[in-house]
Amino acid sequence: MTTDLTTGTIATDLTTAGRTDTAARGGAAATSDTDQRVVRRRLGPGHRVRLAFWAGPIALLAIWVIGSKTGFISEQILSAPWTVVESAKTQWTDHDLLGDILSSLKRAVIGLTLGTVAGAVLALLSGLSRLGESLIDGPIQIKRSIPTLALIPLFIAWFGIGEQMKIITIALITMIPIYIHTHNGLRSIEGKYAELAETIGIGRVEFIRHVVLPGAFPGFLLGMRFAVTSSLLGLVVVEQYNATNGVGHMMTLAENYGQTDVIVVGLVIYGAFGFLADGAVRLTERKVLAWRRTLEG
The minimum distance between CB 152 and another protein, in angstroms, equals 40
Q: How many residues bind another protein (CB under 8 A)?
A: 21
CA-based torsion, 52, 56, 58, 63: positive or negative: positive
The minimum distance between CB 183 and another protein, in angstroms, equals 18
The minimum distance between CB 224 and another protein, in angstroms, equals 17
Angstrom distance (rounded) from CA 61 to CA 51: 16
- Our CB check for another protein shows the closer of 13 and 195 to be 195
Choosing from 46, 71, 201, 258, the residue that interacts with another protein (CB under 8 A) is 201
Which CA distances in Å does 136 have to 108, 169, 222, 226?
25, 19, 21, 21
- Our CB check for another protein shows the closer of 19 and 286 to be 286
Give the number of other Cβ atoms within 10 Å of residue 227's Cβ: 27
Site residues (CB under 8 A) for another protein, limited to 210-269: 210-211, 214-215, 217
Task: Establish if 195 lies at the interface with another protein (CB under 8 A).
Answer: yes
126, 133 contact by CB (below 8 A)? yes
The residue among 290, 136, 214 whose CA lies nearest residue 206 is 214
The minimum distance between CB 156 and another protein, in angstroms, equals 44
The residue among 139, 109, 125, 124 whose CA lies nearest residue 220 is 124
Choosing from 193, 208, 267, 282, the residue that interacts with another protein (CB under 8 A) is 193
Q: Of the listed pieces 53-61, 150-158, 171-179, 196-204, which binds another protein according to CB under 8 A?
A: 196-204
The distance in angstroms from the start CA to the end CA of the chain is: 44
Which residues in this chain contact another protein in the complex, by CB under 8 A?
192-193, 195-202, 206, 210-211, 214-215, 217, 289-293
